[in-house]
Amino acid sequence: MDVAQREIGAEFSGIGALLPDWVPTRGRSRIRRAAAVIDAEVARVVAEHRQGDGERPDLLSRLLAARDETGARLSDEEIRDETVTLYIGGHETTSSTLVWAWYLLARSPGVREALAGELDRVLGDREPGFDDYAQLTYAQAVVKETLRLYPTIWLLTGVAKEGARIGGLPLPPGTRVWSSQWATHRDARWFPEPEEFRPERWGPDGGDGIPEYAWFPFGGGPRACLGARFAMVETVLVLAVLARRFDLDVDPGEIRPVPALTLQPDREVLATVRAR
Ligand code: HEM
CATH number of the domain residue 241 falls in: 1.10.630.10
Cα–Cα distance measured from residue 216 to residue 185, given in angstroms and rounded to the nearest whole number: 8
Work out how many domains the chain is built from and give that number. Answer: 1
Residue whose CB lies within 8 A of the most ligand 1 atoms, among 84, 144, 225, for a mutation test: 225
**At 132, phi and psi to the nearest 5?**
-85, -15
* Ligand 1 atom at minimum distance from 158 CA: 15
Q: How many angstroms is it from 4 CA to the middle of ligand 1? A: 17
pTM for this model (two decimals): 0.87
CB 191 within 8 Å of CB 214: yes
Would you say residue 166 lies in a domain? yes
Cα–Cα distance measured from residue 196 to residue 152, given in angstroms and rounded to the nearest whole number: 18
Q: Smallest Cα–Cα separation from 146: which of 105, 174, 90, 85? A: 105
CA atoms within 13 A on the CB side of 272: 5
Lining residues, ligand 1, CB within 6 Å: 85-86, 89-90, 93-94, 97, 152-153, 156, 217-220, 223-227, 230-231, 235
CB 119 within 8 Å of CB 243: yes
Would you say residue 90 lies in a domain? no
Q: How many angstroms is it from 228 CA to the middle of ligand 1? A: 6
Residue 107: its pLDDT value, please? 93
* Ligand 1 atom at minimum distance from 181 CA: 10
Cα–Cα distance measured from residue 132 to residue 238, given in angstroms and rounded to the nearest whole number: 12
* Ligand 1 atom at minimum distance from 85 CA: 35
Q: What is the pLDDT of residues 65-108, one digit of tens each?
A: 899 899 999 998 899 889 888 887 888 899 999 999 999 999 99
Cα–Cα distance measured from residue 31 to residue 39, given in angstroms and rounded to the nearest whole number: 12
Is 67 strand, coil or helix? strand
* Ligand 1 atom at minimum distance from 217 CA: 5
Q: How many angstroms is it from 125 CA to the middle of ligand 1? A: 33
Q: How many angstroms is it from 101 CA to the middle of ligand 1? A: 18
> Which residues of the chain are under the pLDDT cut of 50?
none
Residue 194: its pLDDT value, please? 96
Would you say residue 40 lies in a domain? no
Q: How many angstroms is it from 261 CA to the middle of ligand 1? A: 12
Is 230 annotated in the active site?
no
CB atoms closer than 10 angstroms to residue 193: 8
Cα–Cα distance measured from residue 251 to residue 116, given in angstroms and rounded to the nearest whole number: 20
Would you say residue 208 lies in a domain? yes
Residue ranges of alpha helices (H) inside the chain are 2-13, 26-51, 59-65, 76-87, 93-106, 109-123, 137-149, 181-185, 228-245
Would you say residue 1 lies in a domain? no
Residue 6: its pLDDT value, please? 82
Is 225 annotated in the active site?
yes
Residue whose CB lies within 8 A of the most ligand 1 atoms, among 86, 184, 218, 237, for a mutation test: 218
Residue 53: its pLDDT value, please? 66
Would you say residue 79 lies in a domain? no
For residue 155, give its domain range.
109-257+266-275
Give the DSSP per-residue string, 81-116.
HHHHHHHIIIIIHHHHHHHHHHHHHHT-HHHHHHHH
Catalytic entry in 83, 197, 218, 235: 218
Residue 206: its pLDDT value, please? 62
